[in-house]
Structure 1
Amino acid sequence: MARKERIVELDAVRAFAFLAVVYQHVIGVYMRKPGVDEMTAFLYGKLFHLLKFAVPAFVFITGLVLFYNYYERVNYPGFIRKRFTEIVVPYAIWSLIYMVWHRDVTGWDVSTLVGVVQKLITGSASYHLWFVVMIFQFYLLYPLLLKGFKAAKQRLSGRAGKVAAVGAAALLYAGLMWVSARYLPAHPFRFDAAWLDAYLITYRDRNFLFYSFYFLLGGMVALALPAFRSLLQRRWPYLLALFAAAYAYIGYELVRDSGGFLVNLNVATSLKPSMFFYTVAQLLLVYLLAVLLTKRDSRWTAWFSMIGRNSYGAYLVHALVLTYVMKGLNVWDVTGSTMLGSVFAFLLCSAASIAFSYGLAKLPFGAWLVGAAEKKRANAPGQSERQWKQAM
């Protein structure tokens, strides 16, 4: 299968998403520091909302890339072998590193091995590794998802039918978010089968169904990239207005549902209807920003491309890096618990994580540790990329 041209703006979207993830986790650390007053906590909460597009953005990118490259045909054995090597192997290695670091592995008896397997399956070796378990489900199920997507596409006729189908999918997904955020916490509903209960309730935050809309949205965009870019540039004022209104509402929810004077960041979960509509509007604006920034080759384009290519390895290692960054800042008492301190910690953690991933990727066995970062090295824009840049 001929390799298609790179979608240059995706590296920028990946970079934005990775940086947003790091700052989210920095905020989580600073919210627990002593001396955080009510106003600072509220500001952290509002900033946290601005960063919540990260995981949906990664899922959206996954759908876009898979449908863009494997819409006509997919050789599943080779496809899944490649993803296993580039995603699961680094994930497993870093999971073991985190388990040893957390002293979860103190020997190699049967109970320890069972615990290791459970943590690998559930993505619970560290607080950020759940994402890999969730995203890999889309790769495993891609042929089925593609078949369903094509079947739905064949049954839809005309623009109105497609718009109605997208609207219906959005409403169904919003209903699923309501079940997750409102119904399940309020009702002691459980499945008899332990594995089903774990998959659909206990670990629903890493169940692919609860992020499926963003994946399918990426698939739709992949089939109409030029039109999608043009639409974003024409309709950005409406998207901005929708984003502002949704941002104000989820800010109100944050205060209302925190249940006290200090903000509770758990209220800002992505798995609720208001955050879904907000995230879609924000994700479209983020994509537009990436398109505009990569329209012309510049130093910013090169930086975002480098961050985007190394984002997976940096994601795997950043929790470890953040721990030592905070230890250093606490020892030196740099900026205390202030907002400026969080910015400083974010910059240090992001830079060190990217540098770590970049360095590991240079090693002969680097792909086993950080994925295929070196294979993603950007080439000069091809003819199709030059055409869409000239058309904008």
Structure 2
Amino acid sequence: MIAVVWFREVEYLRGFAALAVIAVHVSMNFTRIPGVDLLFLLNVAVYIFAHFAVPVFIFISGWVLAARYFGEYSILEFYRRRMRTILLPYLFFTALYLLVNVEGTIGFTGVPEPGRVAEALLLGTAAYNLWFFVLIIQFYLLYPLIVRGYDRFDRAGAVAFLLLALLFVQVLWNACAHLTGAFVDPEWYTVLIRLFPSHLFYFVLGVFVARHTERFRSVLRSLSPAGVFAAAGGSALILGGMWMAAVLRAGSFSGTTLAVFCIYRLLEPLYYVPVIAVLVLAAWCLDERRSRVSGAFRSFGEHSYGIYLIHPLVIAAGAAVWFSITGLSWADWPTYPVIFLVAVAVSYAVVRGAAGIPYAGCLLGEARRPGRFGDLQHPPRY
């Protein structure tokens, strides 16, 4: 069955996650700061705290896909819609980012070699944001099997066991990816972290919420908001502290090894799951107020697909202009908030403006509303 559903929380969650993605990709330039100083450590903290973005997008995809596709439906039609939504933008932006360098500042790289093209298509390495598409394509391909397996556990009353088992498998997979990259070959980490087991728990958690939405809402409302915030904040401090300690001990980011962050991988779900709860609470709060701020967050979330695709280009171009005008660099304090705000505003403006341009809108996911990060529809609420 294909249902037309709408969850009021989802667009807000997308907006929060899209802002976090931009924060991650601006703050990650701390690696260009010579030496470990306060600016370096602050951006390490932002980089870690905002890393909930991809888990949230994966969670949303599981949630809305499972709510829309259940029971009997055409698997071929499902695949056709999913591939139409994601393949054309992925291929176009892979080609664009193979030609245009967006690392630090903007520049042209020339015609890539065939091997580089193949690697970029398979691993999403043309730009730092495209690896997500490699991951989500796997979930689209495996969705019918995943949801069928989930429903068997659900009917047997063993969903809690399934979620705990998947959490264990995911944590073990990610820790082993770090160890393999550290002691065998870094390329193995690049491959393993892009395979679906690295985020399977978050996707199935979204499926669970789709099957038990009201139960999920009821349980979350019964929790103390202060306790949920404390859990998320405490976990963020622990994870951020691990990164800072590792960098301070090594004297630089490049001096650390992948093996150092195995403990981080073991503990990261203890941060991401409470953060999802915090973001849902924030979405409810914004939705109840019906203010301009809530409208802005929802609109940003509605355009999150295109923003995700284009923001590296905006960051790189904005940095090039900023450095040219001011003479500053990534080692200067004003650069980070300025580039973040520019990336947010310009990415949103470009994507929203592209909605009226047929081919540009299609490439940025704006030609039709459904399909962005989970194929959400927009009918009246329920």
Contact 1:56/1:214 (8 A) holds in 2: yes
Contact 2:351/2:361 (8 A) holds in 1: no
Tell me the alpha carbon deviations over residues 47-94 of structure 1, each in whole angstroms, 9 at most, x when there is no partner.
Answer: 222201001011001100111111223322111111212111011011
Bigger mean CA offset, 62-71 vs 73-82: 73-82
Tell me the alpha carbon deviations over residues 108-139 of structure 1, each in whole angstroms, 9 at most, x when there is no partner.
Answer: xxxx4454233212211112111111111101
What is the CA distance between 1:327 and its match in structure 2?
0.7
Match of 1:228 among 178, 199, 216: 216
Cα 1:369–1:162, aligned 2, differ >3 Å: closer, same or farther?
Answer: closer
- For residue 306 of structure 2, what is the aligned residue in structure 1? 313
What is the CA distance between 1:291 and its match in structure 2?
2.3
The residue type equivalent to 1:260 in the other structure is A
What is the CA distance between 1:268 and its match in structure 2?
7.0
Q: Where in structure 1 are there 5+ consecutive unaligned residues?
A: 191-197, 385-392
Do residues 323 (structure 1) and 309 (structure 2) align? no
Please show how residues 71-110 of structure 1 align to structure 2 within 5 Å.
71-102=70-101, 106=111
Cα 1:247–1:3, aligned 2, differ >3 Å: closer, same or farther?
Answer: same
Do residues 188 (structure 1) and 213 (structure 2) align? no
Count of residues in correspondence between the two structures: 366
Tell me the alpha carbon deviations over residues 177-208 of structure 1, each in whole angstroms, 9 at most, x when there is no partner.
Answer: 33223x32454389xxxxxxx7x754112111
What is the CA distance between 1:212 and its match in structure 2?
0.4
Q: What SS does structure 1 have at the residue aligned with 2:151?
A: helix
Match of 1:168 among 157, 162, 165: 165
Q: What SS does structure 2 have at the residue aligned with 1:93?
A: helix
Please show how residues 1-392 of structure 1 align to structure 2 within 5 Å.
3-34=3-34, 38-102=37-101, 106=111, 112-156=113-157, 161-181=158-178, 183-188=179-184, 201-235=189-223, 236-258=225-247, 259-262=249-252, 272-333=265-326, 337-372=331-366, 374-376=368-370, 382-384=380-382
Contact 1:41/1:263 (8 A) holds in 2: no
Q: What SS does structure 1 have at the residue aligned with 2:60?
A: helix
**RMSD (Å) for aligned C-alpha atoms:** 2.9
Contact 1:60/1:217 (8 A) holds in 2: yes
What is the CA distance between 1:2 and its match in structure 2?
5.9
The residue type equivalent to 1:325 in the other structure is G
Hey, what's the Cα distance between the residues in 1 that align with 2:242 and 2:211? 36
Bigger mean CA offset, 265-274 vs 55-64: 265-274
Hey, what's the Cα distance between the residues in 2 that align with 1:174 and 1:214? 11
The residue type equivalent to 1:13 in the other structure is L
Contact 2:3/2:67 (8 A) holds in 1: no
Contact 1:229/1:288 (8 A) holds in 2: no
- For residue 105 of structure 2, what is the aligned residue in structure 1? none
Q: What SS does structure 2 have at the residue aligned with 1:71?
A: coil
What is the CA distance between 1:348 and its match in structure 2?
0.3
What is the CA distance between 1:12 and its match in structure 2?
1.0
Contact 1:42/1:263 (8 A) holds in 2: no
What is the CA distance between 1:306 and its match in structure 2?
1.7
Hey, what's the Cα distance between the residues in 1 that align with 2:183 and 2:111? 38
What is the CA distance between 1:271 and its match in structure 2?
7.3
- For residue 387 of structure 1, what is the aligned residue in structure 2? none
TM normalised by structure 2 equals: 0.86
Hey, what's the Cα distance between the residues in 1 that align with 2:79 and 2:194? 20
Contact 1:243/1:278 (8 A) holds in 2: yes
Contact 2:5/2:67 (8 A) holds in 1: no
Cα 1:177–1:121, aligned 2, differ >3 Å: closer, same or farther?
Answer: closer
Cα 1:297–1:253, aligned 2, differ >3 Å: closer, same or farther?
Answer: same
Contact 1:13/1:57 (8 A) holds in 2: yes
Q: What SS does structure 2 have at the residue aligned with 1:213?
A: helix
Cα 1:43–1:356, aligned 2, differ >3 Å: closer, same or farther?
Answer: same
Contact 1:86/1:372 (8 A) holds in 2: no
Hey, what's the Cα distance between the residues in 1 that align with 2:156 and 2:210? 19
Hey, what's the Cα distance between the residues in 1 that align with 2:28 and 2:358? 35
Hey, what's the Cα distance between the residues in 1 that align with 2:366 and 2:78? 14
Cα 1:368–1:69, aligned 2, differ >3 Å: closer, same or farther?
Answer: same
The residue type equivalent to 1:177 in the other structure is N
Cα 1:38–1:164, aligned 2, differ >3 Å: closer, same or farther?
Answer: same
Contact 1:10/1:61 (8 A) holds in 2: yes
Contact 1:309/1:373 (8 A) holds in 2: no
Hey, what's the Cα distance between the residues in 2 that align with 1:288 and 1:340? 32
Hey, what's the Cα distance between the residues in 2 that align with 1:94 and 1:56? 22
What is the CA distance between 1:277 and its match in structure 2?
1.7
Q: What SS does structure 1 have at the residue aligned with 2:288?
A: coil
Hey, what's the Cα distance between the residues in 2 that align with 1:283 and 1:207? 22
Contact 1:361/1:367 (8 A) holds in 2: yes
Contact 2:153/2:159 (8 A) holds in 1: no
The residue type equivalent to 1:318 in the other structure is H
Tell me the alpha carbon deviations over residues 213-236 of structure 1, each in whole angstroms, 9 at most, x when there is no partner.
Answer: 000000101112122123222213
Q: What SS does structure 2 have at the residue aligned with 1:272?
A: helix
